[in-house]
Every structure is written in C-alpha cells, then in structure tokens.
C-alpha cells in the first residue's frame, strides 16, 4: 500500500485554468481521501486572474463536487479541511521577480501555519508554454539564493506538455531547466502514463511468460495504435493551429504507448532503467525523410458537418485559424523500429479530432496461422489473433482467439476473452493525475518523461513536419464522424491489412467471454 507523501507546499501556476479545475484540485482531494496527502501539506494557486481567496476556494469546491472520482460520496468534513488549506496568490506576470519574492514570503508564512517544517516545494506549471521559461528562471534564481529562500528538503517541478514545439525548442527548454535544476528534480508529465492500463502494459509483458517469447516480428504481424476524439478543435483553434495532431498527440501520448509496447525488458523496474529502454525505442525508429512523407504519413482536416452534439463549419472556418491553414486535425503514420526485435514489422498509428468514436487502444495483431489445416473443409475464414489493450473509454484488455461454432460444420469464429478493470478488481481505478502528483511528491520519476527522451521523440517528428511544410499535397478533407481521410485507410490496406476500427472494417461477429 502507498504511504502518506511527505509534507510540502503544492504551488499551481495557472491555477485559474481548466486543468486545475478539471483534474488537479479534484486529484488533491482524492489523495486526501486516500490518506496519501500529508496533513501538513497545503496548496497555493498562482494565476494572473484577479480573484479573492474566497472566490478561488468556491471554484475549488465546485471543481471537486463536479469532477472528483468520488463526487457521489463527498466527505464534507474532509472537503472542508482540504479547502481550508487552499490559498490564492495573484500575480500580473509569471516572470515578475517581485511577485516571486512575495510568493516566497507567503509560502514561508504558510509553512509555519501548517507545520511544513521541511519547507518542501512542488511547483506545478499548468500554464501556456510561453510562461515556462520565465517561471523556471525565477524559481531557479530563488532556489540558488539561500539568503532569500532557506534550503528545503526538496524543490521539484512538474511541467505539463508540450515540452517544446520541435527538437531545437525542446533542447532550449531543457537547457533552461538544467541551468537551475537537476534532472532528478524535474517531472515532465504525460497523463497517459498515469492510466492503469498503460502501467499494466509492462506487467502484462514482463510478468506473464506466455507473451515475451512471441513478442517480436516473427510472431506479430503489426501493431496498431489509435487515439481518436469526438470533439473538434474549434474552441481552441488559436492554440491548435500552431500545433496540430502530430505535435499535440503523436509526439507524446502515442509515442509513449508505442515505447511501452516496443521496449526491451528493463534491467530493473526503476525510473532510470525504464526510461533508458523507452529512449532506445525512439532512437531506433527509422527516420521518415521529408521527401518520404507522402508514402509513410497521412494528414487530414475535418470539413463542415455534425457529429453527435458537435456541429462545425470546418476546421479552416474556426476562429483563430489562419487562412489556408495546412494544420492537420488528423495524422496517421507507418513507422518501423529498426532493431532485432521489430525488424521489418510496421507500427501503424493514427489520431484525430471529430472521428467516429472516442477511443484509445493498442492492437497487437499476430501473424495468421497456416491455412492448410482448415482450408479444405472450413466454411469460414480463420482470423488472426489480436491482443487489444484498451485505455479509453473503458480500461481493459481483450484477447481474441478462434473457436469452433457448435454444429456439424467446421465454422470458426473469433472469441474475445475480456478483462475489464472495474469488473475484475471491483474498484474504480484512480485518476491519472492522482497517481502522478503523488509520485512527484515521493520523488518517483518512473511515469514521467526524461529530458533526453523528449528530445529523441522530437527528432522523429521534425523531418515529418519539414516534409509536410514542403509537400504539394494539402491535408486531405474528411467528414466529421468518419474514421478520417481515405488515404489513412490506404496506408494500411495497401499492405494487405486493415484497421481494427474501420467503417467497412472487421465485421466478423465476436463472442465475448468475460474473465
């Protein structure tokens, strides 16, 4: 069982933003409910919005009641105790030396009030990326000055993505960080790594002897990774138009999933060993040169239409989108990892906005069995085996096998053996941010991204971005509610394969059996 984290001041920069209300404050309440939050810890929200402390606490109260995992059974006494330890600090400029001086003095007062004797600090940067450098610089300057800031047991940074917008900016950000902080103090957060199923990927692979001997190109035909969304980018088009699906989702979330699937067994289950192996995966990816982007990649933009509750005039008509924008709202790639385990075996990845359904999953498709045994008398095809690791909307694992249909004929149909977290363990998995904030408090970096890891991922993305900027093919339009542009289907179907989820996809009936 996890133990209570050390006491610390949790300083959230950008505390008036959506992330704090939707995820961070509810996660802190849940940590208190699980007795993981030290009673001497407290929260200081730093933001530029003019707001009283009472108003901020009211927003936090509403956020917990609306978004906490246990919102249907709020502990009123605990909630009051948590809210009483939440403060608000307003500053007009995140990089203001004066504001940081006053913040430091305020934290010293709170340390005495709440008994945070060790003066530990956890700084959470939940701000726009352009605020990272001034915040880190000011925090670093004060950390280096013992006269203004007494030494603490620990000072740690949690930094939200994006970690740069390309390799050069990622290197620059790392240089700024390392000027003031050691890598052991830095926690680059990708909330996907906090999800139970993502963590279970390592357990599934390395704690079950049936998988590792066949976890290679000799037995696996290919791997598919899909992260699809049903929302549009219209509401945040000003930001999204400078990012796009490749930078927003592939470089971080999807690459993290791919690395966990493809990595070699680590020497130990510690942060250094695991992140070493993930970084090796990125460095082994066969580069897609700019002139190859039309062969190995697809980019698309959703057009006008309605899907579910979302109606759009098309991405290019959204407020904040530059005229004639070539920013992709959909991206698909075919990648090869050039090492002995995965030699010549493709990884197909795709992500996009306004697709048919909300879905995050990894499909490991094994090679088809020899057909000679069944082809003379079997009236139905023999399908390949699939291992489906589902991250959202329901977390679980499905193993698709072939079974004989009862009757005199030799009919074969797939049978899905399903493992669902909620039904198997009779508990609701903690939210990703609960686990990640706790890990940062105790100093466990296993589920966070290392600086060189982020740079290695950007080194794969940069040539693709360069190729897209120079390509004569604009993003291919696709209809809201579809599975993306036709060329995304061609990317895999020209290899004689199909996406697991496709409009005309694998429609064979599957018999589900819960484990």
pLDDT tens digits, 237-288: 888 999 999 999 999 999 999 999 999 999 998 999 999 999 999 999 999 9
Q: Alpha carbon of 369 to those of 289, 378, 380, 401: distances in Å?
A: 35, 14, 14, 11
* pLDDT level of residue 149 (50, 70, 90 thresholds): low
* Residue 435 token pair: 């686990």
- Stretch 150-161: mean pLDDT, rounded? 84
Averaged pLDDT for residues 454-468:
97
pLDDT at 428 over 90: no
Band of pLDDT at residue 150, cut at 50, 70 and 90:
low
Partners of 316 in beta bridges: none
DSSP letter at 337? Answer: B
404-414 average pLDDT score: 79
Catalytic residue among 40, 100, 253, 307: 253
Higher pLDDT, 143 or 102: 102
Neighbour tally for 452: CB within 10 Å: 17
Give the span between the Cα atoms of 450 and 279, in whole angstroms. Answer: 9
Q: What is the mean pLDDT of the chain?
A: 90
For residue 145, pLDDT beyond 80:
no
Provide the CA 329 distance to its chain's centre, in angstroms.
Answer: 17
What percentage of the chain carries pLDDT values higher than 70? 93
Does residue 402 register a pLDDT over 90? no
Percentage, residues of the chain above pLDDT 90: 73
Whether residue 49 contacts residue 43, with contact meaning beta carbons closer than 8 Å, is answered with no
Residue 508 has pLDDT above 60, yes or no: no
Tell me the mean pLDDT in the region 421-444: 86
Report the pLDDT averaged over residues 385-405.
Answer: 88
Beta strands in 242-345 (DSSP E): 297-302, 305-307, 310-312, 330-336
Strand partners, 492: none
> What's residue 507's pLDDT?
43
Structure tokens at 56: 């901020």
pLDDT value at residue 1: 59
pLDDT of residue 503 exceeding 80, the answer is: no
Going by C-alpha positions, the residue among 462, 23, 435 that lies closest to residue 196 is 435
Question: pLDDT for 35-58, tens place per residue?
Answer: 999 999 999 999 999 999 999 999
Residue 419, pLDDT score: 84
Q: Coil, strand or helix: which one is 25? A: helix
DSSP percent split of the chain into helix, strand, coil, nearest 5: 40, 20, 40
Tell me the mean pLDDT in the region 316-321. 92
What is the spatial distance between Cα 298 and Cα 334, in angstroms, rounded to a whole number?
A: 9
Domains belonging to the chain, first-starting first, are: 9-160 (3.40.50.720), 193-428+460-514 (3.30.360.10)
Identify the pLDDT of residue 245. Answer: 96
Q: Which residues pair with 63 in a beta bridge?
A: none
Mean pLDDT in residue range 329-358: 97
Cβ burial of 139 (10 Å; 0-12, 13-18, 19+) is: buried
* pLDDT for res 331: 98
The tens digit of pLDDT for each residue in 3-47 reads: 999 999 999 999 999 999 999 999 999 999 999 999 999 999 999
Name residues whose C-beta falls within 8 Å of residue 359's C-beta, 6 or more positions apart in sequence.
Answer: 226, 227, 228, 392, 393, 501
Task: Give, for 211, the enclosing helix (H) or strand (E).
Answer: none
Dihedral sign for Cα atoms in the order 128, 156, 100, 22: positive
- pLDDT, tens only, 275-308: 999 999 999 999 999 999 999 999 999 999 999 9
Environment class of 50 (CB within 10 Å of its CB; exposed 0-12, middle 13-18, buried 19+): exposed
The residue with greater pLDDT, 334 or 369, is 334
Task: Give the Å distances, CA to CA, from 438 to 70, 107, 122, 348.
Answer: 18, 20, 11, 34
Query: Residue 146: what pLDDT?
Result: 59
pLDDT of residue 440: 96
Find where tokens 């009051």 sit.
80
Give the three-class secondary structure for 315.
helix
pLDDT at position 98, please?
93
pLDDT of residue 262: 97
Phi and psi of 24, rounded to 5°?
-70, -50
148: confidence class by pLDDT, cuts 50, 70, 90: low
| 513 CB-near residues (< 8 Å, 6+ apart) | 415, 416, 417, 418
pLDDT of res. 505: 41
- In which element (H, E) is residue 207 found? none
Establish whether 191 is a catalytic residue.
Answer: no
Query: Phi and psi at residue 415, in whole multiples of 5°?
Result: -120, 125
């Amino acid at each position: 069982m996890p133990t209570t984290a050390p006491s610390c001041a949790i300083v959230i920069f950008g505390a008036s933003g959506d992330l704090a209300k939707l995820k961070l404050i509810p996660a802190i309440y849940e940590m208190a409910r699980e007795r993981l939050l030290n009673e001497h810890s407290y929260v200081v929200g730093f933001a530029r919005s003019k707001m009283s402390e009472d108003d901020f606490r009211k927003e936090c109260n509403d956020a917990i009641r609306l978004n906490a995992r246990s919102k249907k059974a709020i502990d009123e006494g605990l909630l009051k105790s948590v809210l009483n330890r939440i403060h608000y600090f307003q500053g007009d400029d995140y990089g203001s030396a004066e504001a940081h001086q006053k913040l430091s003095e305020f934290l010293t007062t709170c340390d005495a009030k709440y008994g945070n004797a060790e003066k530990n600090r956890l700084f959470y940067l939940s701000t726009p990326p352009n605020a990272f450098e001034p915040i880190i610089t000011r925090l670093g300057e004060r950390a280096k000055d013992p006269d203004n800031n007494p030494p603490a047991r620990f000072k740690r940074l949690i930094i939200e993505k994006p970690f740069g917008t390309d390799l050069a900016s990622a290197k620059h950000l790392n240089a700024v960080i390392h000027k003031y902080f050691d890598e052991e103090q830095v926690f680059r957060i990708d909330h996907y790594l906090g999800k139970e199923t993502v963590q279970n990927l390592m357990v599934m692979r390395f704690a079950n002897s049936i998988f590792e001997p066949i976890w290679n190109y000799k037995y696996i035909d290919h791997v598919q990774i899909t992260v699809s969304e049903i929302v549009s980018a219209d509401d945040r088009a000003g930001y999204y138009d400078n990012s796009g699906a490749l930078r927003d989702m592939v470089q971080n979330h999807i690459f993290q999933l791919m690395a966990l699937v493809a990595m070699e067994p680590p020497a130990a289950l510690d942060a250094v060993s695991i992140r070493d192996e993930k970084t090796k995966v990125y460095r082994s990816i066969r580069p897609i040169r700019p002139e190859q982007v039309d062969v190995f990649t697809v980019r698309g933009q959703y057009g006008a239409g309605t899907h579910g509750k979302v109606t759009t005039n098309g991405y290019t008509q959204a407020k904040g989108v530059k005229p004639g924008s070539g920013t992709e709202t959909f991206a698909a790639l075919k990648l090869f990892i050039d090492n002995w385990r995965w030699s010549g075996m493709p990884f197909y990845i795709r992500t996009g906005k306004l697709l048919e359904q909300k879905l995050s999953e990894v499909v490991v498709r094994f090679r088809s069995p020899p057909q000679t045994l069944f082809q003379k008398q079997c009236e139905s095809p023999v399908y390949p085996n699939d291992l489906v690791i589902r991250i959202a909307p329901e977390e679980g694992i499905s193993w698709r096998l072939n079974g004989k249909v009862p009757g005199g004929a030799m009919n074969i149909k797939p049978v899905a053996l399903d493992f669902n977290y909620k039904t198997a363990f009779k508990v609701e998995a903690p939210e990703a941010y609960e686990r990640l904030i706790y890990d940062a408090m105790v100093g466990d970096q296993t589920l966070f991204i290392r600086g060189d890891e982020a740079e290695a991922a950007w080194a794969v993305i940069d040539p693709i971005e360069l190729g897209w900027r120079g390509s004569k093919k604009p993003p291919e339009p696709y209809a809201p509610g579809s599975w993306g542009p036709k060329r995304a289907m061609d990317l895999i179907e020209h290899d004689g394969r199909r996406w697991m989820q496709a409009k005309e996809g694998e429609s064979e009936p599957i018999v589900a059996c819960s484990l």
